[in-house]
Amino acid sequence: RLDIINSRNVNTVIIALYYKGAISGLHSVVDSKLDFVEGFRRLILSLIKEGKRVVVVYPIPKPEKPIPKYLIRMGEDGERELEKLSFGSLQESSEIRRMLDSITSKKFIPVKTEDVFCPNIDSLRCMVKMDDNILYSDGSHLSEFGADLLMQHIQKRLFKND
């Protein structure tokens, strides 16, 4: 509700959403995706123009397979197979990422999820485990450990810009 966001008492707006879900709810995928990206950009810029600090969590990379089931089914071979697992969602969200990367206002605080999960984003590979902890509970959701990592990253970005 924009009336709440436009309140003078609100200084910071945090936007985190399921981008693919927002886009897939639209009719014509090609046109709608471009419309969504442009509309999202206009929303961010209008909030900034209103003097709001805008924090946007980038799309979370999604593995192509449900990680825990994959590990159980594959055993030790699954560990090696995970190194080959790609994250097609990185390509799916490239337009949104490019648009967000283009916003240069000091009031815009990008939270790049790939900084947490994909240290080598160019390879379209991301981590699925860290320190023996699985980062995903299935093909679409972070595990508690993965969510904690992301939340720590969000907090760092918020307080870095204070």
Q: What is the pLDDT of residue 7?
A: 77
Q: CA-CA distances (angstroms) from residue 69 to 57, 82, 134? A: 27, 12, 11
Dump pLDDT digits (tens) for 9-45: 889 999 988 777 666 655 555 557 778 888 899 999 9
Dump pLDDT digits (tens) for 43-61: 999 999 989 999 999 988 8
Euclidean distance between CA atoms 147 and 160, whole angstroms: 20
Lowest mean pLDDT among 15-19, 82-86, 96-100, 131-135: 82-86
- Tokens 């508690």 label which residue? 144
Dump pLDDT digits (tens) for 104-151: 999 999 999 888 888 765 666 777 778 878 888 876 788 999 999 999
